Amino acid sequence: MRLDWEIAKRGWRRYAAYPWATVAGVFTNTVFGFIQAYILLAVYRHRTDVGGYDASDTLTYVWLAQALIMTVYIFGWNELALRIRDGSIATDLARPLDPQRYWLAYDLGRAPYHFIFRGVLPFAVGALVFHLHYPSPQNAAAFVVSVALAVVVSLGYRFLYNSAAFWMVDIRGVMIVALTLSIFLSGMALPLAFFPGWLRDVAHVLPFAAVMQTPIDVWLGKHHGGALAGTLALQLVWALVFLGLGRLALRAGSRKLVIQGG
Amino acid sequence: MVEPVLVWRRLVGAQIRSQYQYRLSFALDLVGNFLISFIDFLAVLVIFHNVHRLGVWTVHEVAFLYAMSSISFALTDLLIGHFDQFPQKLRDGNFDILLVRPRGTLFQVIASDFQMRRLGKAIQGAIILVFALETVHVAWDPGRVAMLVVMVPSAIVIFSSVWVVGGCLAFWTTDGGEFTNAFTYGGNFLAQYPVDIFSSWLRRFLCYLVPLAFVCYFPALYILDKPDPLGLPRLLQFTSPLVAAAGAVVAGATWRFAVRHYRSAGG
C-alpha cells in the first residue's frame, strides 16, 4: 500500500512538472467547450428536450466532458506498448510489483492532478457564461466516486489494448480502433442522450459509457437511490472485467515474450 | 521559386518511399485515420437525427461545410501537421542545426516530416463531399465551379497560417504547444459548422480575427446561393483567397520575428 502511494505521488508530480502545458490544455479545452456548447444550443432553438436532457443539462454535459477529458485520459495512451516494444517490460516484470498494479497506482496519482488542474478551470469558465446544473451534496459525493471508477475502467481498457504489443510490433492500428470506439460510445463526442433510441440502448450497456456518460449522469442527478447504486456497481464490474482481461493478456504475453538483445 | 519545390519533392519523396516499406502498418494507419475521422461526421448525423435544421442549415448543407473543411484540414495536416512536434526541436536544441543550413528554417521544418497515412482523413472528407454534392441543391455555373476549386487551396493556406502562428508560441513557452490545438483542431471543428450558430463574441474572435469563417462559411454561402443569416456584405463571399494571402504574410512575419528571439537550449 505504501509502495502504491509512492508510485501515485510520482504520477502526480510528472504532470505537475509542466505548468505551461496545463495552462495551454485548459485554454484548449475551454475553446472546444465553447464551440460545442453553441453547436448543441442551436439544437435547442427547435425543441426543449433531447432524450431527457434540457438545454442546461446539455450545457452542463459539454463542460463536464471537457473537464473530464484528461482525468479519464480518453485520447489514448501507449506507454505500456512502447515499453513492451523496446524491451523495458522485461525490467518491469522482474520487479516485485506487477506492471498492472504499478500503472494503476500511477494513474490514480495522475488523475487527481488532471481533475483539479485541467478540470476545474474550464468548467468554471463555462459556469460563468452559461446556466449550468449543480448536484446535490449526495450526488456530488457519488460523482467523485463515479469519476474514480471511470479512471479505473479507462486504465483497465488502456492497459488491455496496449498489451496487444506483445503480439504485434506496431499497435497504432489497434489503438486507433480502440479510440474510435471509446470516443464515440463513451459520450465524449456527443451526449448519449442525443443518440437514436436503439444506439443509445446499445451504448448504455457497453463499458465505454462508464468512462464519461455515467459520471456526468450522476452529477446531473439522472439516477436515484437503488438505480444510482446499480450504476456505480456496473462501473465497478467493468473496471474488474478490464483489469481481469488485462491480467490474462499480461500473463499470456509475458509467456511468449522474447527480448532482443539487451 | 522552382528550386525549393524540387528540394521539397526530393525530401518528401524519400519519406513516402520509406513509409511504404512497412505496408501492413501503413495500410492499418491509413484505415485507422479514415475511421477515426468519421466520428466527427457521425456526430453531425446524430445532431440532425434530433433536428431538421441547425439554424437555417440542412444536414446536406452542413455536410458540405463539413466535407470542405475536413478535406482542407486533412491536406494541411498532411503538409505541416508535424508542426505539433516542432516544440521538441526547441526543447532539445536541435533547432540550432536548422539555423546553420543554407535553407529557410520554416521550409526545413515543413519538409522534415510527411506522413502519408494522414491522407486517410482527406479520403473520408472526399467521400462526404460526394454525398453532400449529390444531395444539396446547387445551380452550377462557371463562377460556382471556380469557387469550389479555389476554396480548398485558400482554406489550406488559412489553416497553415494559423498553425505556423500558433507554433511560434513555442519559442516563448516551450511546453505550451497545446495552445495551438485550440485554433488548428478547434478551427477545423468550428469551420465544419455554420458560423451563424455561434455567439457574436466567439465569432469575432474565432471567425474574423482568426479568419476561420473564410475557410468554408463565406464561400459556401455563394456556392449554395444562401442569403447570409448574419446579413454581412456579399463581397466577403469572394475574399477567401485574399484573406489566405494576408494570413500567409502574417505567418511569415511572425515566424521571422519568433526565430530572431530564439535562444538555444544547448544540446
**Other CB atoms within 10 Å distance of the CB of residue B175:** 17
- B237: cell is 463571399
Give φ, ψ of A50 to 5 degrees.
-125, 110
Alpha-carbon distances of B161 from B73, B154, B262, rounded to whole Å: 12, 11, 20
Alpha-carbon distances of A89 from A76, A254, B39, rounded to whole Å: 19, 9, 33
Count of pairs with CB atoms under 8 A, one residue in A, one in B: 114
Q: What ipTM does the predicted assembly reach?
A: 0.91
pLDDT(B174) > 60 = yes
Give φ, ψ of B57 to 5 degrees.
-105, 135
Condensed to tens digits (0 to 9), the pLDDT of residues A206-256 reads: 999 999 999 999 999 999 889 999 999 999 999 999 999 999 999 999 888
Q: Answer whether A32 sits within 8 Å of B186, measured CB to CB.
A: yes
pLDDT(B267) > 70 = no
Q: Answer whether B178 sits within 8 Å of A24, measured CB to CB.
A: yes
**Other CB atoms within 10 Å distance of the CB of residue A51:** 15
Alpha-carbon distance of A75 to A189, in angstroms, equals: 12
For residue A260, what pLDDT is reported?
66
Nearest by CB to residue A35, choosing from B49, B178, B189, is B189
Residue B154 · residue B212 · CB < 8 Å: no
Chain A within 8 Å of B179 (Cβ-Cβ)? Answer: yes
Condensed to tens digits (0 to 9), the pLDDT of residues B237-258 reads: 999 999 999 999 999 999 999 9
Lowest mean pLDDT among A117-126, A211-220, B30-39, B162-171: B30-39
Nearest by CB to residue B32, choosing from A21, A172, A189, is A172
Query: Which residues in chain A have their CB less than 8 angstroms from residue B36's CB?
Result: 176, 179-180, 183
Chain A within 8 Å of B49 (Cβ-Cβ)? Answer: yes
Chain B within 8 Å of A6 (Cβ-Cβ)? Answer: no
pLDDT(B41) > 80 = yes
Task: Write the DSSP string, chain B.
Answer: -HHHHHHHHHHHHHHHHHHTTSHHHHHHHHHHHHHHTHHHHHHHHHHHHH-S-BTTB-HHHHHHHHHHHHHHHHHHHHHHGGGGGHHHHHHTTTHHHHHHSSS-HHHHHHHT---GGGHHHHHHHHHHHHHHHHHS-----HHHHHHHHHHHHHHHHHHHHHHHHHHHGGGT-TT-THHHHHHTHHHHHHHTS-GGGS-HHHHIIIIIIS-GGGTTHHHHHHHHTPPPTT---GGGGG-HHHHHHHHHHHHHHHHHHHHHT------
Q: What mean pLDDT is predicted for residues B143-164?
A: 96
Interface probe for A, chosen from B45, B50, B88 (most Cβ of A below 10 Å), is: B50
Residue B15 · residue B118 · CB < 8 Å: no
How close A167 gets to chain B, by Cα (Å)?
Answer: 14
**Other CB atoms within 10 Å distance of the CB of residue B116:** 15
Q: What mean pLDDT is predicted for residues A138-165?
A: 96
Q: Answer whether A180 sits within 8 Å of B175, measured CB to CB.
A: no
Alpha-carbon distance of A84 to A154, in angstroms, equals: 20
For residue A261, what pLDDT is reported?
58
For residue B120, what pLDDT is reported?
83
Query: Which residues in chain A have their CB less than 8 angstroms from residue B193's CB?
Result: 35, 39
SS (H, E, C) chain A: CHHHHHHHHHHHHHHHCCHHHHHHHHHHHHHHHHHHHHHHHHHCCCCCCECCECHHHHHHHHHHHHHHCCCCCCCCCCHHHHHHHHCCHHHHHHCCCCHHHHHHHHHHHHHHHHHHHHHHHHHHHHHHHCCCCCCCHHHHHHHHHHHHHHHHHHHHHHHHHHHHHHCCCCCHHHHHHHHHHHHHHCCCCCCHHHCCHHHHHHHHHCHHHHHCHHHHHHHCCCCCHHHHHHHHHHHHHHHHHHHHHHHHHHHHHHHHCCCCCC
Mean pLDDT over each residue of chain A, to the nearest integer? 93
Nearest by CB to residue A190, choosing from B46, B177, B193, is B46
For residue B72, what pLDDT is reported?
96
Residue A72 · residue A211 · CB < 8 Å: yes
Interface probe for A, chosen from B36, B90, B168 (most Cβ of A below 10 Å), is: B36
For residue B10, what pLDDT is reported?
86
For residue A208, what pLDDT is reported?
97
For residue B234, what pLDDT is reported?
93
Alpha-carbon distance of B35 to B29, in angstroms, equals: 10
Q: Answer whether A194 sits within 8 Å of B50, measured CB to CB.
A: yes
Alpha-carbon distance of A71 to A146, in angstroms, equals: 12
Alpha-carbon distance of A234 to A241, in angstroms, equals: 10
Alpha-carbon distance of B237 to B154, in angstroms, equals: 13
For residue B261, what pLDDT is reported?
84
pLDDT-based confidence at B265, cuts 50/70/90? low
